[in-house]
Amino acid sequence: MSHSYPRIVCSMLFGASAAVSLSNAVMGQAAQGTPTDALTLTEIIVTATKRSEEVRSISGAVTALTGGELEELGAQSMEDYLTRTPGVVFNAATPGLSSVSIRGVSTTTGIDQGQGTTGYFINDVPLSDPYFAVAIPDIDAFDVDNVTVLRGPQGTLFGSASLGGAINYQTAQPDLTDYQMHVQGTTEGTARGGTGGSGKIMINVPLINDVFALRGVYVYRDDAGYIRNIGTGEKHANQTLIRGGRIEALWTPASTTKISYLFLKQTEDTKDLGYQEPVYAGSLEKNTVAPEPNNYETLIHNLRLDQDLSFATLTVTAAYHEKVSYAVQDATLAVGSLLPGVSPILLITPETSRGTTYEARLASPANSRLEYLVGVMHDETRLTENTIGEGPGAAQAIETLYGPIIGAGIGQASAPGDVFLNAQIPVKGQESAIFGEGTFHFNHEWKVTLGGRAFQTKVTNETTSSGFYTLLTTGALTSDVSGTEKQSGFLPKGSVTWTPTDNLMTYLLVDKGFRFGGPNLAPPEPGYPIPSTFKSDSLINYEIGIRSTWLDRRLQLDGTVFHIDWSDIQLRLQTPLALNYAANAGKARNTGFEGTATWLITQGLTLSTALTYLDAKLASPFVPGGGQPVVPSGSTLPGASKWQVASALSYNWLNAPFKPSFVVADRYISQAPGIFLTGLPQGDYNLLDARASMHVKDLSFTVFVDNIADSRGVTNANNLPPIQQFLVRPRTIGVTLDYRL
């Protein structure tokens, strides 16, 4: 679905998901040792703070899932693992364009004009657009090193878009010494849907031992459809095909020098948008005159140098990032009353995002009394969107209806070639920054971290539109809207950490986040003023966290309490003629608790639970405009479920023949509004999954059942005509064969 001009046309816990490992490696920890008295839970190392650190030693809310943990979960996409992560809501909709909200920092569960509130990164390369999101990359998790979720604003190190938090996908690096191969095949069937499956392969080749290696990954995945489109007659309309992979090269010409290169490309092609219309509730059906295909492509080239300078490590990266999308929306129901007898009426939206990112930073050695990281960065991204509204016979219908009123030739003038809207939306966004943070260790118990980011952003836009719809909304056949928004500022960050013993750490953290402001795209509407630009929000996060280990490091209990003051919120408003625009208005207060427990009960048996409570509400009312009702103070933010809980029990019988293992996992998310006031609710469902595996040398065989109870939970809901509900995948049963060499 289009995310800017077409939306203008169509109007627009006690619980949390647990990032739990489902084997001896849980929540980023791995069970080690074979004798029972040696069993412990230990940390993994991540680079989520742009230096290598143990995940539970970071003075902030961070969840990391290793590649092994993702494999135990059977996780392939964001929906499989983000729904198990504390404080995170995955608003699943169209594959490749499903939004993520962290700690309730969001005013929409979809995609709209303006930058989003969650940052997305692959190997630290930013993939969040400075304005509307062309796509939200959902890279297949096969052969990943780790996926790390940082909750709370991450503006100091990661920059814009990380208002609520950031997600960093870290690929597995080439191995310089060992030949490796990993092959995986899956076949599965979905209740009331089709049959799907996947084939995946990884090959690692050290071409020059200890000096140069290549690692290649390819994925072909067919996610079966399960929505029937009555209008087109397609039974499993929302089938999605994911294809692509990556090539990585690692060169170490000297012991102090490491040069790496990443090429990544993935496409996600969905035959027809997979929503259910509420009028067909329970039947998994929609009814459009034409199919609504959505296609997305992500491309990355990334070159990186890591140079040990003895006193610090210099890291320099240069990246080219590109996203391309092609979406079709059946707007017959939405605007059909304007053109009686014309069917179908389609909105066709090709979009591109192309940009370059450069960053250089110095990081001091770890374990020194004063640790520091300083850097500079620059990103320039260009977005283009071309929205075309067309339908067979549109020109004749316009001429027949409005020619006698406006004058002969109106149909041909406004809709050449049966086009009643043609909108060109080019956007250029630039971001430059100097950033850094330093940590001073007073002693082995106390440390203080201070950091900040000085930034400048600039967004320019010049939107042109023409056609019959432009005439109806502006009074003219053509419209030109241009604008520029510049901003500069400083984001502070500070924390105090107390570690009285090796088994206890607590911290106090205060930090800020930001996102781009920008110009409004909507053309001026007679008699209704629209601000030419909107600015960045103001968001401050306060949190207190505790990390504790018990029972000889076999039990971990972690908890975080946070409070967010969010003001000058970028709110999506609407004119009387249903043109969308943005303005800074309103305040919100988000308060909550995130807790996790991981217990290694005995060798091979692990129990994990994660809990989130969230109270995210407006602190002051706002007026959406366009005749819509006032959204009162106390309204829950869209997608901000109050409760989430995820639990898992896993067992690995390592000493038995065939080394059997099993995993049972459950997820619950409570109800939340899809949009303010007028939207349908989403959430309020359970998902129960189970997996069982057997191993023979390098070969493993897994049987799995996802969504055992065949829940019809709503993951995303909006009121665009027709009203749409995206649902969790129905019960899916499958088998996986996995071979490693």
- Nearest C-alpha neighbor of 495 from the set 441, 454, 537, 548: 441
Rounded Cα–Cα distance for residues 725 and 108 (Å): 15
Asked which of 94-103, 419-428, 563-572, 598-607 is least confident by mean pLDDT, the reply is 419-428
SS3 399: helix
Residue 223 burial (CB < 10 Å; 0-12/13-18/19+)? buried
**What was the pLDDT predicted at 16?**
29
Q: Are 134 and 352 in contact (CB under 8 A)?
A: yes
Average pLDDT over residues 95-103: 93
Record the tokens describing residue 99, joined without a space.
């939004």
Q: How far is CA 455 from CA 255, 460, 515, 570, 585, in A?
A: 35, 17, 11, 19, 23
Per-residue pLDDT tens over the stretch 651-677? 999 889 999 999 999 999 999 998 887
Per-residue pLDDT tens over the stretch 285-302? 999 999 999 999 999 999
Write down the domain spans for the chain.
5-740
Cis geometry, peptide bond prior to residue 722 (ω within 30 degrees of 0): yes
Domain 5-740 in CATH: superfamily? TonB-dependent receptor, beta-barrel domain (2.40.170.20)
Mean pLDDT of the chain: 89
Rounded Cα–Cα distance for residues 313 and 156 (Å): 19
Average pLDDT over residues 72-92: 93
Q: What is the CA radius of gyration of the chain?
A: 26
**What was the pLDDT predicted at 579?**
76
Record the tokens describing residue 602, joined without a space.
């005995």
**What was the pLDDT predicted at 4?**
42
CA 107, 108, 113, 117 torsion-angle sign: positive
> Is residue 404 very low, low, confident or very high in pLDDT (cuts 50, 70, 90)?
confident
Average pLDDT over residues 438-453: 96
SS3 350: strand
The residue type at 525? E
In the predicted model, is pLDDT for residue 640 greater than 80?
yes
**What was the pLDDT predicted at 248?**
98
Q: Are 271 and 239 in contact (CB under 8 A)?
A: yes
- Nearest C-alpha neighbor of 466 from the set 580, 374, 387: 387
Q: What angle do CA 407, 334, 409 make, to 5 degrees?
A: 15
Rounded Cα–Cα distance for residues 723 and 440 (Å): 54
- Nearest C-alpha neighbor of 453 from the set 488, 486, 429, 428: 488
Average pLDDT over residues 6-29: 33
CA 61, 67, 70, 75 torsion-angle sign: positive
In the predicted model, is pLDDT for residue 414 greater than 60?
no
In the predicted model, is pLDDT for residue 628 greater than 80?
no
**What was the pLDDT predicted at 407?**
66
Per-residue pLDDT tens over the stretch 579-625? 778 889 889 999 999 999 999 999 999 999 999 999 999 999 887 76
Average pLDDT over residues 411-428: 74
User: HSE on the CB side for 300, CA within 13 Å?
Assistant: 28
Place of tokens 């908890």: 559
Q: Are 536 and 517 in contact (CB under 8 A)?
A: yes
Record the tokens describing residue 194, joined without a space.
């089709």
Record the tokens describing residue 28, joined without a space.
């980023």
Rounded Cα–Cα distance for residues 738 and 346 (Å): 44
Asked which of 2-16, 106-120, 463-477, 724-738 is least confident by mean pLDDT, the reply is 2-16
In the predicted model, is pLDDT for residue 338 greater than 90?
no
**What was the pLDDT predicted at 605?**
95
Choice between 522 and 495, residue whose per-residue pLDDT is larger: 495
**What was the pLDDT predicted at 406?**
67
**What was the pLDDT predicted at 636?**
94
**What was the pLDDT predicted at 316?**
98
In the predicted model, is pLDDT for residue 6 greater than 50?
no
In the predicted model, is pLDDT for residue 364 greater than 60?
yes
Helix (H) / strand (E) element for 406: namely: helix 394-406
**What was the pLDDT predicted at 384?**
94
> Is residue 387 very low, low, confident or very high in pLDDT (cuts 50, 70, 90)?
confident
Percent of the chain at pLDDT above 70? 91
Helix (H) / strand (E) element for 63: namely: strand 61-66
In the predicted model, is pLDDT for residue 626 greater than 70?
no
Average pLDDT over residues 123-145: 92
Average pLDDT over residues 460-465: 90
Query: Model-level pTM?
Result: 0.91
Q: Are 561 and 593 in contact (CB under 8 A)?
A: yes
Record the tokens describing residue 106, joined without a space.
């969001």
Rounded Cα–Cα distance for residues 400 and 394 (Å): 10
